[in-house]
């Protein structure tokens, strides 16, 4: 899969004067056998035994020359030795260099750099304490228990939206769900029923709410109803919760996006664990596991900069509350012109697939 995130030019900048170190780690013997030799050494490309040598600017370009086959640059050497494809080589080199991402528009805060100065945050209104939380919890658990694995509907809907990755098991389906309901009445109001995609909000491993998206009963599109999305909660406040679409992995970065679609697109782009915030106002407060050391924030781009502001607020908070080695935000590289007011990572991915970027 093509990775849109890793950019060779940016990696080249970081790799300058470090190719000896990179190749000795990632290409081992293939490098050691030509390193420090005036006479030629064995060539990984053609198998010649005494014709390979380091280019005079090797430290800056990683090139190993061969008098027989001409040789190749550091990336080619690593590819050849390990059998990795080019994207994997980029990923490994970037990781070795302590960088994870090279997307234009990326802002990286690391090694003690601070994120941009604080904006004034509007205090979030606290909902009134809810005496019915235990009942709400039961209600939400019942809904979740009714969900089934995708029967193909979510997949078809995603395809129609331009997303081709497999539906993660964290997205579940209910075939018929009312558009109007109230948990304390324990009934719906004769409302119309639609298939819905359901995802859990988790707070410290516990279900704290549900995100519900209504689909059209027939066509692979969102339902033509007044409210297409609903957030149900069984806690006073969903602050700190998130939709954890993919499991985090120790030593791997975590990507946080706003919406589920944007997050799925980012998963398709980056192949790293991705979470979604759901509504933008929840983004800033998301809690992450302490073992996570690198976080990217996949920003939505919009004319009023709301996406950037919530991403910055999240970056500031993560910077303050966690010991991260790496924290970066990245924004779709799309200009907001011709009446386009907002783009997310799925818009970016679609354009990329269509060759428009």
Binding stretches for Zn ion (CB under 5 A): 43, 45-46, 48, 66, 68-69
Select 69 or 287, whichever has its Cβ closest to Zn ion. Answer: 69
Least distance in angstroms from the C-beta of 89 to Zn ion:
19
User: Rounded to 5 degrees, what angle do the CA atoms 207, 210, 212 make?
Assistant: 160
Least distance in angstroms from the C-beta of 3 to Zn ion:
29
Task: Find all residues with CB under 8 Å of 117, minimum gap 6, and list them.
Answer: none
Residue by residue, DSSP assigns 212-263 as: EEEB-SSSSSB-SSS--EEEEESSS--TT-BB--S---TTS-EEEESSHHHH
Select 68 or 281, whichever has its Cβ closest to Zn ion. Answer: 68
Select 48 or 279, whichever has its Cβ closest to Zn ion. Answer: 48
Select 40 or 278, whichever has its Cβ closest to Zn ion. Answer: 40
Select 45 or 275, whichever has its Cβ closest to Zn ion. Answer: 45
Least distance in angstroms from the C-beta of 248 to Zn ion:
42
Least distance in angstroms from the C-beta of 18 to Zn ion:
24
Least distance in angstroms from the C-beta of 38 to Zn ion:
17
Give the Cα separation of 28 and 294 in Å (integer): 27
CA atoms within 13 Å, Cβ hemisphere of 165: 24
Select 40 or 273, whichever has its Cβ closest to Zn ion. Answer: 40
Give the Cα separation of 329 and 312 in Å (integer): 8
Identify the residue whose tokens are 């759901």: 278
Please answer whether residues 193 and 179 qualify as being in contact, where contact means their C-beta atoms are separated by less than 8 angstroms: yes
Distances 272 to 157, 166, 284, 328 between C-alpha atoms, Å: 23, 14, 20, 14
CA neighbor of 96 nearest in space, from 50, 1, 28, 181: 28
Least distance in angstroms from the C-beta of 84 to Zn ion:
19
């Amino acid at each position: 899969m093509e990775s849109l995130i890793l950019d060779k030019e940016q990696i080249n900048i970081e790799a300058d004067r470090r190719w000896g170190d990179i190749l000795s780690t990632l290409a081992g013997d293939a490098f050691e056998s030509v390193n420090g030799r005036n006479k030629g050494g064995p060539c990984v490309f053609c198998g010649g035994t005494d014709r390979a040598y380091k280019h005079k600017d090797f430290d800056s370009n990683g090139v190993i020359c061969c008098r027989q086959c001409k040789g190749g640059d550091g990336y080619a050497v690593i590819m050849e030795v390990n059998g990795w494809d080019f994207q994997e080589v980029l990923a490994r080199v970037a990781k070795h260099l302590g960088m994870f991402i090279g997307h234009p528009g990326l802002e990286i805060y690391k090694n003690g750099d601070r994120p941009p100065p604080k904006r004034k945050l509007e205090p979030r209104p606290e909902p009134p304490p809810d005496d019915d939380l235990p009942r709400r919890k039961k209600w939400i658990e019942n809904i979740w228990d009714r969900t089934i694995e995708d029967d193909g509907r979510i997949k078809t809907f995603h395809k129609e939206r331009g997303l081709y990755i497999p539906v993660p098991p964290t997205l579940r389906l209910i075939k018929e769900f009312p558009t109007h309901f109230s948990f304390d009445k324990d009934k719906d109001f004769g409302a119309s029923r639609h298939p819905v995609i359901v995802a859990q909000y988790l707070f410290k491993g516990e279900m704290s709410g549900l995100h519900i998206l209504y689909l059209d009963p027939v066509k692979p599109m969102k339902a033509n109803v007044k409210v297409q999305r609903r957030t149900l909660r069984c806690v006073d406040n969903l602050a700190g919760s998130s939709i954890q679409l993919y499991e985090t992995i120790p030593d791997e970065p975590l990507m946080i996006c706003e919406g589920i679609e944007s997050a799925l697109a980012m998963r398709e782009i980056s192949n790293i664990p991705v979470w979604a915030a759901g509504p933008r106002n929840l983004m800033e407060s998301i809690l992450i596991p302490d073992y996570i050391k690198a976080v990217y924030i996949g920003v939505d781009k919009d004319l009023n900069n709301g996406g950037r502001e919530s991403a910055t607020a999240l970056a500031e908070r993560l910077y303050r509350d966690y010991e991260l080695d790496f924290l970066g935000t990245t924004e779709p590289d799309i200009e907001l012109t011709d009446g386009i007011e907002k783009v997310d990572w799925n818009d970016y991915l679609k354009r990329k697939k269509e060759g428009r970027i």
